[in-house]
A and B are shown apart, each in its own frame.
Chain A
Amino acid sequence: MTTKVTINRLATGVPGLDEVLGGGLPEFSFNLIAGQPGCGKTTLAHQIMFALATPESPAIYFTVLGEPPLKMLRYQQQFDFFDAEQVIRSIRFVNLSEDAMVGNLDRVLRRIVDEVTLHSPGLVFVDSFRSVVQAAEDTDGSGNKLQQFVQQLGMLMTSWQATTFLIGEYFDETDANPVFTVADGLIWMRQNVQRNSMVRKMEILKMRGQSTLPGLHTFRIGTAGIKVFAPASGAVPAPSIAASAAGASANAVRLGMGVPGLDEMLGGGLPRGYSVLVAGPSGSGKSILANAFLSEGVRRGETGVMAAFEQHPNKTRNGELFDLIESGKIGLVDTRAPDLSIDETVLLLLNEVRRLGATRVVIDSLSGFELSLPPTFRDDFRESLLQMVSVLARAGVTVLVTSELEDRYTDLRFSPYGAAFLTDAIIVQRYIELGSRLRRVMAVVKVRASAHSDELREFTIGADGIRIGEMLPDQEGLLGGRPTRKRALDLSEPAANASDA
């Protein structure tokens, strides 16, 4: 039997935060929540407090010189987590502003100790800690007293078996603030503003005794409170080797695309669990193909999920798809929220996939997706796409993504992001000029680990959707956009051909 101490981890009640923290908040830890004004520190503290406080393990929230308590109570109760019934029963608010105003840290500490001794709280919050720091500096002029204060507070709170949070503003993370050394956990909250977009991000700089998810994690503040979006890669666990083998055999199952003839071109349909990129210029029929893919799933008794970044399905333009969404067979992820991150989008997709038990997912389109992202995420768009596609694949769904492709007749490209390698299959659509008309051709460029057609087939779009026609064997140079009629003499007159060369 082990005699090592077992550290309990508390569920914070903040969606996504426990995951980022590496399994919850260590009990009796001494934590600092830092960040600029307005970044959500007090909200985070309240959300954790209302989730964890009980009459047996109550919370004390000490307000110092930051936000006036009346205002704090006024605004915090706008959040769903604020339950007035818990106040007094399991949550006490204690004002220390008058003690802090005289700058006597001993007096502040004494008040805290008195209250903690009296009520034996399981949770202690001190908000805002910066004002304690300032009060000390104003009177003492040095940080020594503060360091003593923090060390004493940390020691006392741990001895009193209280999980403690200091909420502080403006801290410069490069500053060797003594609080950072003493704290067991450092939660840094930021607001990233670029142009007109604002993205909130959180970083766990330190959490003693456990492995946290590194890096910046986006979060959003809504009426329910704070929601953290942990990296998409963690949203679905990586499959075991046995599960991968089972998945490989599942790939033998092929899904119909809903476009007559396309399944044959794909070698018998799209293998289940694959991702397919449909690339083509504007108006070539990518969204129509995507809609057909979802509708075909419903015809076969499946459900699907769609993230539409360009045009939202409506009754007049996409009648059939609209009806399927209305009937609940297709879930539509709302992509209109401002400053949506890729991690958040993946989470929205996965939630909808789980809710509907969906097997097919459409993202229409990558170009629209990139444009909807705040500038701060665009640099990492390609990496994030790879992560998104692999997470969705791990979730077992078959994914179709469309991508706008500027027609360049001098090179054969499938994605403006170099994202072609991300997907298991690629279907490309092109315009060609023939007989003074713009006509469309389609080809299957790749289907990983599967035979597939190499034909370049003409297709048309009518009221009943995409209709794939024949090859244009008498034309050559189709991908150059301006095909020419093959010369009939080529085969019948080799001598003449040779002389031409």
Chain B
Amino acid sequence: MDTQKSPPGTAPPSQADESTGAPSIADTMVWAWRDINVVLVPIVGERGVAALHNRSLHLTGKAFPWLAAPPGGLEAIVDLDALHALLTLQGTEAATDGGNALLRTFHDLLSTLIGLSLTERLLFPVWEKYLSASPAQDPSP
């Protein structure tokens, strides 16, 4: 496995080109989260993924207040409809940045809990599909 892959969110989602607008970005993000669910729900359960998702919303909400999770955080499932609605309401740039930041925060959160290698091992198919981040390059001399 290529562990040199850039962390998610370092580049805009390839299938969510800014020119297509916020609704398209919202669709792509929701698909990405569905795929994350497919990978992680069997392992940590729906409540487990929902808890991680809520924590990510809370953390990302500091830079993107419109993403901040509602108080409570006891949801049993990831509320993708609410996420879609939130992203659609934003401008294209804000939706792209906020959506990417949410994914990056989720990735970082999972990494702090189960380590970078296992996180990338589990989520690699998702990042590969939705993020066009090119492998990290050594800086030019």
| Contact A85–B43 (Cβ < 8 Å) | no
Complex partner residue of B122 from A68, A87, A94, CB under 8 angstroms = A87
Residue in B closest to A69 when the chains form the complex, CB atoms: B44
Q: Produce 1/0 per residue, B31-55, CB < 8 A to A.
A: 0000000000111111110001000
Residue with the highest number of chain B CB atoms closer than 10 Å, among A68, A84, A87: A84
Complex partner residue of A85 from B1, B47, B115, CB under 8 angstroms = B1
Name which of A70-78, A146-154, A426-434 contacts chain B: A70-78
Q: How far is the CA of A88 from the CA of B47 in the complex (A)?
A: 21
Which residues of B sit under 8 angstroms from A70, Cβ to Cβ? 44, 48, 52, 113-114
Residue in A closest to B43 when the chains form the complex, CB atoms: A93
18 contacts between A and B (CB under 8 A): A68-B44, A68-B48, A69-B43, A69-B45, A70-B48, A70-B52, A73-B114, A74-B114, A77-B115, A85-B117, A87-B121, A92-B42, A93-B42, A94-B42, A95-B42, A95-B43, A95-B44, A98-B46
Known: A84-B115, A85-B117, A95-B48. 16 other contacts (CB 8 A): A69-B44, A69-B48, A70-B44, A70-B52, A70-B113, A74-B115, A77-B114, A77-B118, A87-B118, A87-B121, A92-B42, A94-B42, A94-B43, A95-B44, A95-B45, A98-B47
Q: Produce 1/0 per residue, A185-200, CB < 8 A to B.
A: 0000000000000000
Which residues of A sit under 8 angstroms from B117, Cβ to Cβ? 84-85
Chain A residues in the interface with B (C-beta under 8 A): 68-70, 73-74, 77, 84-85, 87-88, 92-95, 97-98
User: What is the number of residues of chain B that contact chain A, defined by CB distance less than 8 Å?
Assistant: 17
Smallest distance from the beta carbon of B116 to chain A beta carbons, Å?
9
| Contact A88–B42 (Cβ < 8 Å) | no
Residue in B closest to A93 when the chains form the complex, CB atoms: B43
Which residues of B sit under 8 angstroms from A77, Cβ to Cβ? 114-115, 118
Q: How far is the CA of A497 from the CA of B48 in the complex (A)?
A: 99
5 shortest A-B CB distances, which residue pairs?
A95-B45, A84-B117, A84-B118, A93-B43, A73-B114
Which residues of B sit under 8 angstroms from A74, Cβ to Cβ? 113-115
Smallest distance from the beta carbon of B139 to chain A beta carbons, Å?
28
Smallest distance from the beta carbon of A18 to chain B beta carbons, Å?
28
Smallest distance from the beta carbon of B137 to chain A beta carbons, Å?
24
